[in-house]
Amino acid sequence: MLAFAPLHTAASVAASVVTWLADALAPLAGGAATAAAIVLFTVGVRLLVSPLSLAEVRGERRRAALAPEVGDLRRRYAEAPARLQSELFALYRRAGASPVAGCLPALLQAPFFLVMYRLFATGDGHPGLLNERLAGVPLGWHLGDGLSVAVVTVFGALLAALLALAFWSSRRARRAAAATGTVAGTPTEGPGAATLARLLPLLPYTTVLVAFVVPLAAVLYLVTTTAWTALEQAVLRRPGPTAIGMR
């Protein structure tokens, strides 16, 4: 389903960049050059899409700022859905915001992450990529392929890093929801809001579960991109209106 021409072409281009980086890093990183190239390439792509992340957070902040008025309108027009939608539309239009604006940047980022995941999980565009090694473990190795001291050491360190990042992200999400009364920029009131507030802090742990079934190259990618996301959260979502601005 995912093996269509544009995706394969994009994965081939990405594989060429990773290979070039690995060759450039070989004098410094030695046998870990390909692993280092995966990390560096992931950071480069995250830098490339960082303006989209900024736009996403700005959209969340705009919606969070309107949350009290949205909640008031929901209570006032609870028995008149058509009027409620009209009033909500007028509110967002006056504020120069959109209830879905924060979702669009995330959707635009999805193709980048799909290409990277496909490259590092299947070796699409460069089958030999997964034959390279990190500390003696092939980048195409899965935990289910068998355990050894090297496998336990490498996967254990990466899984511990993912677990720590998931714990930090989950705790931060809970604190942000409690402090602002919103979840991802939306009010914590209304149908399904309580369920959403309970589920969202658990989402970071899904990355840990994925790491158990993907090869080492993809785990390296997951650790790098998750760490970058945590850094973005710390910088872009720090308290205070001056963090990223509202313009």
Over residues 102-139, the pLDDT tens digits come to 555 566 667 877 888 788 887 766 767 888 889 989 99
Query: Which DSSP category does 240 fall into?
Result: S
| Domain containing residue 26 | 5-236
- DSSP state letter for 173: H
Rounded mean pLDDT, 13-35 = 90
Question: Could you tell me which residue, 55 or 189, shows the higher pLDDT?
Answer: 55
* Residue 132 backbone class (left: φ over 0; alpha: ψ -120 to 50; beta: rest): beta
DSSP string covering 128-161: GGGGSEETTEETT--GGG---HHHHHHHHHHHHH
Q: Residue 218: which H helix or E strand, with range? A: helix 216-236
Q: How many Å apart are CA 6 and CA 115, to the nearest integer? A: 10
Whether residue 205 contacts residue 170, with contact meaning beta carbons closer than 8 Å, is answered with yes
Mean pLDDT score, 82-107: 70
- Matching residue, tokens 């714990």: 167
Residue 246 counted as domain residue: no
Q: Tens digit of pLDDT for each residue in 191-238?
A: 555 565 667 777 888 889 989 998 999 999 999 989 998 888 787 766
Mean pLDDT of 163-168: 92
Asked whether the predicted pLDDT for residue 88 surpasses 70, the reply is: yes
Range scoring the smallest mean pLDDT among 49-58, 151-160, 210-219, 226-235 = 49-58
pLDDT at 179: 55
pLDDT surpassing 70 at residue 65: yes
Put residue 240 in one of left, alpha, beta given phi > 0 → left and psi -120 to 50 → alpha.
left
Length of the chain, please? 247
d(CA 59, CA 184): 10
Predicted local confidence at residue 171, as pLDDT = 83
Mean pLDDT of the chain: 78
pLDDT for position 185: 47
Residue 123 inside a domain? The answer is: yes
pLDDT of residue 109: 67
186-187/182-183 β-pairing: antiparallel
* 39 inside domain: yes
Type of residue found at 160: A
Residue 149: the pLDDT is 94
Residue 244 belongs to some domain of the structure: no
Residue 184 has pLDDT above 90, yes or no: no
Return the amino acid letter for 198.
R
| Cβ contact 132:30 at 8 Å | no
3-state secondary structure of 186: strand
pLDDT at 188: 47
- What's the total number of domains in the chain? 1
Query: According to the model, what pLDDT value does residue 85 have?
Result: 81
Query: Does residue 82 belong to any structural domain of this protein?
Result: yes
H/E stretch holding 134 reads strand 133-134
Q: What are 20-30's pLDDT values in tens digits?
A: 999 999 999 88
Looking at the domain assignment, is residue 247 inside a domain? no
Domain assignment of residue 118, yes or no: yes
Residue 138, beta-bridge partner list: 133
For residues 160 and 67, the model is more confident at 160
Instruction: Assess whether pLDDT exceeds 50 at residue 76.
Output: yes
Burial of 34 (0-12, 13-18, 19+ CB in 10 A): buried
pLDDT on residue 247:
40
pLDDT of residue 241 exceeding 50, the answer is no
Residue 84 within any structural domain of the chain = yes
